[in-house]
Amino acid sequence: MKKHPVIAVSGSIAAYKTCELVRNIVKKGIPVRVMMTENATRFIGPVTFAALSNMPVIVNEWDQGMIHIDVKNEASVFAIVPATANIIGKMANGIADDAVSSAYLAMECPVIVAPAMNPNMYKSKPVQRNLKILKEDGVIVIDPMVGEVVCGDVGPGKMAEVQQIEKIILEYHYKNEGI
């Protein structure tokens, strides 16, 4: 079975950039499965990602049975874009209380996170500690850019460029698509 990228979206204003990411990968002829946290749906609707990916979007793991196991079996790479402080904290501490965090714990493929949040949140000790744990666990962290975020604050926390994230996802996809 050929595997494909699974992209999970968490609740950040940067979620709109993930639309471009999904579209770019699909245009290359690579299927993409999209998952969303409930909070992500407050920023962008699942219908948008369903249209871009030509696949149903997973928001609630209970709507489709043990979907986190199904997703684990189809994933060449699992990328959380954007990754909020909330989902990073869940991942680092083994909390599985939604479809995305449950899928993360089941994954056997490479996992990538692209943090996006307020600079003060990003620089906070708990977030830095959680990112350190994820790195020690083998998660690939695509560091955010320094810049102005939507609230007007400036510093690290602006999600990395879509093209950079896409390049890294595709690199791991091509290594793992046939496995």
- What percent of the chain stands above pLDDT 90? 87
pLDDT 10s digits, 28-37? 999 999 999 9
Give the C-alpha separation, 131 to 134, whole Å: 5
Predicted confidence at residue 66, as pLDDT, reads: 65
* Closest among 76, 106, 77 to 91, alpha carbons compared: 106
Sort 28 into a burial class: Cβ within 10 Å, 0-12 / 13-18 / 19+. Answer: exposed
Predicted confidence at residue 1, as pLDDT, reads: 61
Evaluate if residue 177 carries a pLDDT over 80.
no
How confident is the model over 86-112, as a mean pLDDT?
96
To the question of pTM greater than 0.85 for the whole model, the response is yes
How confident is the model over 126-150, as a mean pLDDT?
97
Catalytic choice (51, 69, 150, 151): 151
Predicted confidence at residue 65, as pLDDT, reads: 62
19 catalytic per annotation: no
Query: Where do the domains of the chain lie, and which CATH numbers do they carry?
Result: 4-176 (3.40.50.1950)
Q: How high is the mean pLDDT of the chain?
A: 94
